[in-house]
Structure 1
Amino acid sequence: MFKQRKFLFFHNLLSVFLVFFIVVTASIVSLNASTITYSDNQQAAYYVTNSTVKRLGNVATHYLDQGKTIVNNNHYQQQVNVLLQPCNGNTKLVTWAVKNSDSSGFVRKTVAQIATDYEANHPGWKVLGATNADQYYFALGEKGHENGSDYFMPQPYGPFIADGEKWFSISAKPYGGNGTYIAGFLNDGTQDQIVEGYTNWHDQSALRIRIAGLYLSIVDEENHIISKHLINKVNETPLEGESALYTPYYSGTSTMPSMDVSGDYLFIVSNAEQAYMSNSVTYTYKALYDQKLLANAQNAFFGKGTIDKIETTTVLNKGQFAISANNVTLRDELALGKRIIVQYEYEGIMNNVEAATAYHTVMRTNNKDLESSSSYNTVAYPRSVFGRTSSGTMALVTIDGKQASAGMTGTNQNETNAILKHYGIVEAYQVDGGGSVTMVVRDNGCFKVVNSPADGSARAVLTAMLLITRDVQITSKQTGATETSVTLNAKITSTLERNITQVLVRINGQDYPFVNGNVSIDHLEPGQTYPYQIYIRDDLGVSKTDFKGIVITQKQAPRFYYCELQETKDGMTFIPHFDDFSSISSLILFYNGTEYDLLANPNLTIPDFEETSEVSIFYSATLSEYVKINQVIFFPFYRSTVILEELYVYLDDYISDLYQ
């Protein structure tokens, strides 16, 4: 009996355990199945097995995920890094490359070094994370020469914009070859922040991004454009009324030859911030390799600097350029000390973006996968991708590969799309893959490589895409005004790695410190608008921020003189006289109980007017956002009543002041 009960007890216990095991197992299978994401064609899938999530600067999110892709029922281990950040002006997705030492081009650096250089050139901004960008020509050209003696090296495969400057508007092969697509970033907080198009000059579709021409812009210290002028020729003598750019270029040797130039008016930049030709109409030998009709040989130039010489003859060397101005309008505007930018510009919206990079494959668009039969995309490979989510949040993604034994297999097109779908990326573009794939994130003020580059260490690349944020965020607004003063309020909403001890506002060249978030500025003029700039003091001293605005002092109250009466054949016309109408927002004439709008009818005529009738004028004046006055004048065409009204107002104000 005892044995039977014991058997029944264990039998029941085992049944309960089996039920529990089945339920739990079913739950786990269901959970895994619910997190598997499939490519649109169902040829690949992806799921995460381990995820580490970290916030960066309180605006970006970094995912370091281990997972698996599924292809033909085979599971492949993957390591995926994802950076997500909303971009709205205070946070951005930008591009960058490091200039070489003689300001005649660029040098390859690791992504971490590019991020460090970006911060050094953009005080007030911090990089939260970055990845490599476009592919690039880096050493040997088609003729087998190094140091740029084939065509300009290094340069990206396609167009590249940084800081709004078109460093490479025209690619090395505009009619074919690499880099035939471009994407620009608006950073305006909208849902669709990516502007993309084709840059292959053979393309005649509406998506083609076309060159508008070579332009010279005269700019101020902050690169704001003062005026812009078309440049007609490159390294050719301009005709009367034309202008030309002169600059040396590589021509089949390892060193750049100098160039003798002459002209009536040569405005020379001998110590340029940047100057180089990245393509030339003289590179006709390219026809042997990738084109017909010599079409890929096109002039391409970027130059920036301050005019420091005006001559009739000169010798230009590497990193220098000159403008020959036979155009009177341009000649009159150019002078010593003028800062200029010369570049090939685009038609349309692409010309206005702050940052843009080329890419080689569209991965997803309108939340749909695009398939590819390219041999590059059908093999497992390390991938680097940028894109956006449905809300407009920008995304940088890296997928490690060529390290299967370490759990990093790499992906093909279908696997990559399954991964992008998993993270909610609805629009995506692929850039340089393989050993170039690198992601860094900010870690205690330094940049840490968080993926596993296929080369074993971070490769030196040419360009990078960076997610950035202001290192201090300040809001400011006007809170009050009198005729001679204004009050302002400022608030620090966030900081990143900065110990701010004071906030100041600069108006009329003078700094005023905020105390408990408020400041009052006196000795101003009535009814004037004053621009202001916010400065901050920290451990390094006082520095300017990008935060600015305007304040407006209160206008003086308008003085009513009298209401002129002019008798006409139609009746009596009323013409009110004030010393200043600018602040008057309402002006009403009351005549025998009827209202007449004198602002809408400035020469109001009333037939059968009787001077003994009841007449008054009511007016409102908006002196500032904070002060509005109302006034009634009875019998306004009598000077005596106006004087009495003024006396009454004065006494009323005086008595009110006594009791305050």
Structure 2
Amino acid sequence: MKKILMMLLITTTLSLSATNLKYNETRNDVKDLSGVTYSDISGNVTNDANTTTNQEVRLFEKNEDIEVVTWSKFSNGKYVKADTLEIANDFESNNSNYEVIAGVNGDYFLADQTVNANVIYGNRVIKPNNHIKYQALEIDMNGNKVKNHVTTTSSSKILITIFDNNDSAYYYDQIKGINNPVLYDNETTVISNSIKLLDTEIQYYTLTNSKIHVIGSHLYVEGTATLGFQSSGYVIATKNKEIINIIENKNIIVQNEISNVQKNNMLIGYDSLIMEKGIIKEFEEIKGQSESNNKSRHPRTGFGYDINGNIKLITVDGRNPGVSNGVNLREFAQIMKSYGIVEGYNLDGGGSTQAVARIDNKLQMVNNPSDNPFRKVGNALLFVKRKHNIKANLTNVDGLINITVNGDTSITKLNILVNGVEKEYNFGDKIEFLLPLNRKSVVSVNVVYNDNGITKKGLIKNYYLESTKIDIPDKPGVNVEHKYVNNNLTITLNYKDPNKLISDIRVKIVGLDKELPALIQSAEKRQTTFENVEIRNEDELIIIVKYSDGTISEKEYIVIIKEKISNNNIYVYILIVIFAILVSALPFFLIKKRKRLQ
């Protein structure tokens, strides 16, 4: 009976606790900030222990014309922390097509990086991985939730993207890693060790005005491609004619990407999910930094989604007794819920809590951060607006591209870039074309407008695509045979190639640094001979096969040399054999001679 009474008491306590949690708004000054509704709010919140405190709240809600970005600041080529106002101004100075309307601080941070994965606007992967305690949310530029990432996978592949100064993308593809010592046709590498390659056919472009951020094996480099080789900094080395034709004086990003994050999406790291499907989580369910932090009152920053999936940004000031005490995470979730949020995320808070807004056409801090001077933070989550309100939609059906645009009817011209090739269209024209097969492609959609008599171009969106793959037969392998006579090494290569995929084969002797083409002998045979070469047993050859699609494979072959027999050795061998025959026949002759004597 005692156990039953105890359970009833616990259940009643929990029920009362849940009932006690509530929020009451006492003031709400609303401003329309050109597509963002900004609410400057006072209220009081009652917690699970039935304690009521005053709170100052800032809430940002956007309409469909507003986009969402994450951003981090670089200064003098290095990633730096900055307050949210500085980060917002830095975004505008680097992205002239946008203005920031509102924003809040983002993820936790360390000395030179965010705590979690940080992918900012423009596919810039500043940090590829999460802390083991936290997670990151993938969002698109409408702020829609795409995927929650407990862990992220950094690709070992290095990719290059080439832009103009308008951020319109010209080229996007994988390159041959870092400091690769050998380049074949159409290959590109990035040099960081100041060592120039010997190949005279390679073209070099030094990245000037660079932004560089390296975390372990992860590389992010952004700069302007300047013709020539400089021994300091990063250099693009290429034999790719397509790149050579467009790269000079263009902006370049070279980086490892995150393989499970879609292009044009961003990652924002967060502390914890504090409310899900409208249900506020218990402290022990929230996890995040620590249960003690969850239960303590601090300034808080967060974002969340309403029942229609619309994103909202929110802050609560704190450490200002009687004015705004700050909230624990259940109190924070209750305030979120009161403003229509059903799925709430907690970001970095405390002295980091900052809210900015564009009021009277000037960005300013609109909350009262507890740290003054303002704390430097790792990144920010921003509501931004295009200066030209045009949106594009692209469909890709088996490589057939169709683009539609809508919005600002004062724009009369569109500029479409497909892998760097430009074409202009009138607004309202049908825009349809085929992508090149079997390659990465980038399509950039831009507006053309007049600015005080000067024709300018404004980016709408870059689309990173691959055309639908056609069936390609397996690439043939090559069987190798050799013959080494009188210091002449002949290499014979046999293969089956009914689809004529092999375009060239070369043979290289590694130890001697000699390389020759293998000449066609028949449809399934090629051959080459190295004359007057000293080959040792188990010397290594590399068989370099180039295919018609431009790809290259390399096969290692070890030469096994049988013992060579010279002419003199042959004579000695014959004499030894004759002598052995005579010796074996001698007893027979002696026996025969004895019989004659008898």
Scaled by the length of structure 1, what TM-score is found?
0.54
Shift in alpha-carbon separation, 1:177–1:239, aligned structure 2, 3 A? farther
The 5 A counterparts of 1:331-410 are: 331=240, 333-335=242-244, 338=247, 339=250, 340-348=252-260, 350-373=261-284, 374=290, 375-405=292-322, 407-410=323-326
Structure 2 residue 242 is matched with structure 1 residue 278 = no
Shift in alpha-carbon separation, 1:134–1:420, aligned structure 2, 3 A? same
Shift of 1:56: 1.4
Match of 2:24 in 1: 47
Shift of 1:378: 1.3
Shift of 1:127: 1.3
The 5 A counterparts of 1:92-491 are: 92-101=67-76, 103=77, 105-138=78-111, 154-171=112-129, 176=131, 180-188=134-142, 192-199=144-151, 209-221=152-164, 222-224=167-169, 226-232=171-177, 234=178, 245-247=190-192, 259-264=193-198, 268-280=204-216, 299-309=217-227, 315-316=231-232, 320-323=233-236, 331=240, 333-335=242-244, 338=247, 339=250, 340-348=252-260, 350-373=261-284, 374=290, 375-405=292-322, 407-473=323-389
Shift in alpha-carbon separation, 1:276–1:336, aligned structure 2, 3 A? farther
The 5 A counterparts of 1:586-601 are: none
Q: Distance in 1 between matches of 2:445 and 2:126?
A: 36
Q: Distance in 1 between matches of 2:73 and 2:171?
A: 27
Shift of 1:538: 5.1
Shift in alpha-carbon separation, 1:533–1:40, aligned structure 2, 3 A? farther
Q: Which amino acid aligns with 2:299?
A: P
Gaps of 5+ in 2: 1-14, 285-289, 393-404, 417-421, 430-443, 462-598
- Deviation sequence 1:362-386 (CA, Å, 0-9, x none): 2223333333342221100011102
Shift of 1:473: 2.6
- Deviation sequence 1:532-589 (CA, Å, 0-9, x none): 96444455854434469xxxxxxxxxxxxxxxxxxxxxxxxxxxxxxxxxxxxxxxxx
CA RMSD of aligned residues (A): 4.2
Q: Distance in 2 between matches of 1:216 and 1:274?
A: 17
Q: Distance in 2 between matches of 1:119 and 1:408?
A: 31
Q: Which amino acid aligns with 1:111?
A: T
Shift in alpha-carbon separation, 1:40–1:230, aligned structure 2, 3 A? farther
Asked whether the 8 Å contact 1:381–1:433 carries over to 2, the reply is yes
Q: Distance in 2 between matches of 1:95 and 1:547?
A: 17
Asked whether the 8 Å contact 2:120–2:126 carries over to 1, the reply is no
Q: Which amino acid aligns with 1:308?
A: T
Match of 1:615 in 2: none
2:86 is paired with a residue whose SS is helix
Asked whether the 8 Å contact 2:123–2:264 carries over to 1, the reply is no
Shift of 1:402: 0.7
Shift in alpha-carbon separation, 1:490–1:65, aligned structure 2, 3 A? closer
Q: Distance in 1 between matches of 2:168 and 2:446?
A: 17
- Deviation sequence 1:179-234 (CA, Å, 0-9, x none): x4211221358xx53432113xxxxxxxxx322333222434244363411544x5
Q: Distance in 2 between matches of 1:425 and 1:170?
A: 29
1:155 is paired with a residue whose SS is coil
Shift in alpha-carbon separation, 1:475–1:448, aligned structure 2, 3 A? closer
Asked whether the 8 Å contact 2:28–2:39 carries over to 1, the reply is yes
Q: Distance in 1 between matches of 2:194 and 2:423?
A: 49
Asked whether the 8 Å contact 1:44–1:418 carries over to 2, the reply is yes
Q: Which amino acid aligns with 1:98?
A: K
1:376 is paired with a residue whose SS is helix
Match of 1:78 in 2: 55
Match of 1:655 in 2: none
Shift of 1:76: 0.6
Shift of 1:177: 5.6
1:92 is paired with a residue whose SS is strand
Shift in alpha-carbon separation, 1:117–1:260, aligned structure 2, 3 A? closer
Aligned residues: 407
Q: Which amino acid aligns with 2:383?
A: L
Shift of 1:449: 1.8
Q: Distance in 2 between matches of 1:540 and 1:353?
A: 32
Asked whether the 8 Å contact 2:296–2:328 carries over to 1, the reply is yes
Q: Distance in 2 between matches of 1:471 and 1:465?
A: 19
Shift in alpha-carbon separation, 1:543–1:240, aligned structure 2, 3 A? closer
Gaps of 5+ in 1: 1-37, 139-153, 200-208, 248-258, 281-298, 477-488, 494-501, 522-530, 549-660
Q: Distance in 2 between matches of 1:188 and 1:39?
A: 40
Q: Distance in 1 between matches of 2:368 and 2:265?
A: 30
- Deviation sequence 1:305-325 (CA, Å, 0-9, x none): 3443566xx633xxx213567
Shift of 1:276: 2.2
Q: Which moved more, 1:260-269 or 1:433-442?
A: 260-269
Asked whether the 8 Å contact 1:215–1:230 carries over to 2, the reply is yes
Q: Distance in 1 between matches of 2:237 and 2:456?
A: 39
Match of 1:23 in 2: none
- Deviation sequence 1:59-92 (CA, Å, 0-9, x none): 21111111111122221111111101145xx421
Overall identity of the aligned pairs, in %: 21
- Deviation sequence 1:112-138 (CA, Å, 0-9, x none): 222222222222322111111112223
Match of 1:293 in 2: none
Runs (4+) off by over 6 Å:
238-243, 506-512
Among 534, 541, 544, which residue is 2:457 paired with? 544
Q: Distance in 1 between matches of 2:376 and 2:389?
A: 33
1:64 is paired with a residue whose SS is strand
Match of 1:65 in 2: 41
Q: Which amino acid aligns with 1:185?
A: I
1:119 is paired with a residue whose SS is helix
Q: Which amino acid aligns with 2:171?
A: I
Asked whether the 8 Å contact 1:60–1:86 carries over to 2, the reply is yes
Q: Distance in 1 between matches of 2:282 and 2:221?
A: 40
Q: Which amino acid aligns with 2:206?
A: S
Asked whether the 8 Å contact 1:186–1:193 carries over to 2, the reply is yes
Q: Which amino acid aligns with 1:387?
A: G
Shift of 1:40: 9.7
Shift in alpha-carbon separation, 1:430–1:507, aligned structure 2, 3 A? closer
Q: Distance in 2 between matches of 1:54 and 1:404?
A: 27
1:214 is paired with a residue whose SS is strand
Asked whether the 8 Å contact 1:98–1:114 carries over to 2, the reply is yes
Shift in alpha-carbon separation, 1:227–1:428, aligned structure 2, 3 A? same
Q: Distance in 1 between matches of 2:150 and 2:391?
A: 40
